[in-house]
């Protein structure tokens, strides 16, 4: 993340939602509004209309005036994700040198699902619009790690295991475990730098819509930062 953007967000976090408001900041309110949009499937137009209504009813509210302004603020947090089209049979990603490919180079499956356009004036031309058959949503890791080190308290916590943990022989942190010690023995150069991040990876399939009548499923890949894990 650009440092100037980060410190601008710090300033936004200190801005009052309205004069005299101490409980919630402009940034916190905006993030929570965006979360509600994502959770309940609000359209961009409805989200903008709601912001406009709030601003009209309460002119002193210090909030973005549109969805695009809100999304710009979220992007500055580096909380956004990138959409990468994938083969429906999980063979490959349409990425980098394959970004413009129309078919999977391994199984030949089409990248797209084609639907007829809605509208009577398009029936003669039989135009279609293309929707990716499968999409990978990638949350970039490096900007998020950089952001952790931009906060002095978080940066200190990431290095807590190196000098401040108890060495009384009890398992209080992953660094006390045998797996951590074996990794350090195998990669001593990595272990010497206390700022290095230890990450655990896990993945599992689930249906995000909580109904078995839909065949849609999601495979989230979750990364856990072991530096921040405490066991008591």
Are 70 and 96 part of one and the same domain? Answer: no
CA proximity to 111, closest of 83, 139, 138, 89: 89
Mean pLDDT of 71-95: 87
52 and 15: one domain? Answer: yes
Say whether both 86 and 48 belong to one domain: no
User: Which has more confidence, 42 or 231?
Assistant: 42
Q: What is the mean pLDDT of the chain?
A: 84
DSSP state of 218: B
- pTM beyond cutoff 0.85: no
Task: Please indicate, yes or no, whether residues 95 and 68 belong to a single structural domain of this protein.
Answer: no
Whether residues 181 and 151 fall in one domain: yes
Q: What is the per-residue pLDDT for 11?
A: 76
pLDDT at 118: 57
pLDDT top residue among 121 and 167: 167
Percent of the chain with pLDDT over 90: 44
Q: Mark whether 51 and 109 lie in a shared domain.
A: no
Contacts within 8 Å (CB) and 24+ apart, 72-80: 73/9, 73/12, 73/27, 73/30, 74/30, 74/31, 74/34, 76/1, 76/5, 76/8, 76/9, 77/9, 77/31, 77/147, 78/1, 78/140, 78/143, 78/144, 78/146, 78/147
Residue in this structure with the two tokens 């890949």, named with its chain if needed = 221
Assess whether pLDDT exceeds 60 at residue 194. Answer: yes
Tell me what pLDDT residue 119 has: 54
Residues 31 and 57 in one domain: yes
DSSP designation for 96: G
User: Which of residues 76, 107, 129 is at a domain's end?
Assistant: 76
149 and 216 belong to one structural domain: yes
Q: Please say whether the beta carbons of 209 and 216 come within 8 A.
A: yes
CB proximity list for 229: less than 8 A, separation 6 or greater: 173, 174
**pLDDT at 46 (0 to 100):** 95
My answer on whether 223 and 152 are in the same domain is yes
Domains held by the chain: number:
3
Q: 140: closest CA among 198, 219, 229, 223?
A: 223
- Domain containing 44 equals 3-76
Residues 63-70, mean pLDDT to the nearest whole number: 91
- Half-sphere exposure (Cβ direction) of 155: Cα atoms closer than 13 Å: 6
Q: Are residues 151 and 220 in the same domain?
A: yes
146 and 133 in one domain?
A: no
Q: Per-residue confidence at 230, pLDDT binned at 50, 70, 90?
A: low
Same structural domain for residues 26 and 63? yes
Give residue 115's pLDDT: 73
């Amino acid at each position: 993340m650009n440092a100037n953007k980060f410190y601008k967000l710090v300033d936004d976090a200190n801005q009052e939602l309205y004069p005299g408001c101490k409980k919630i900041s402009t940034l916190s309110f905006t993030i929570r509004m965006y979360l509600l949009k994502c959770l309940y499937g609000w359209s961009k137009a409805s989200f903008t209309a709601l912001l406009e209504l709030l601003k009209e009813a309460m002119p002193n509210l210090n909030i973005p005036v549109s969805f695009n302004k809100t999304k710009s603020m979220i992007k500055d947090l580096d909380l956004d994700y990138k959409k990468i089209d994938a083969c429906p049979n999980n063979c490959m990603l349409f990425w980098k040198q394959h970004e413009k490919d129309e078919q999977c180079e391994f199984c030949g499956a089409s990248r797209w699902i084609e639907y007829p356009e809605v509208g009577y004036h398009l029936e003669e031309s039989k135009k279609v619009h293309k929707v990716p058959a499968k999409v990978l949503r990638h949350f970039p890791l490096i900007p998020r790690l950089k952001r952790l080190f931009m906060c002095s308290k978080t940066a200190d916590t990431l290095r807590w295991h190196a000098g401040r943990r108890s060495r009384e022989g009890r398992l209080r942190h992953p660094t006390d475990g045998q797996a951590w010690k074996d990794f350090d023995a195998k990669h001593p150069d990595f272990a010497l730098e206390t700022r290095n991040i230890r990450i655990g990876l896990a993945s599992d399939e689930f249906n995000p819509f909580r109904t078995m009548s839909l065949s849609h499923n999601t495979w989230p890949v979750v990364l856990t930062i072991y530096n921040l894990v405490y066991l008591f």
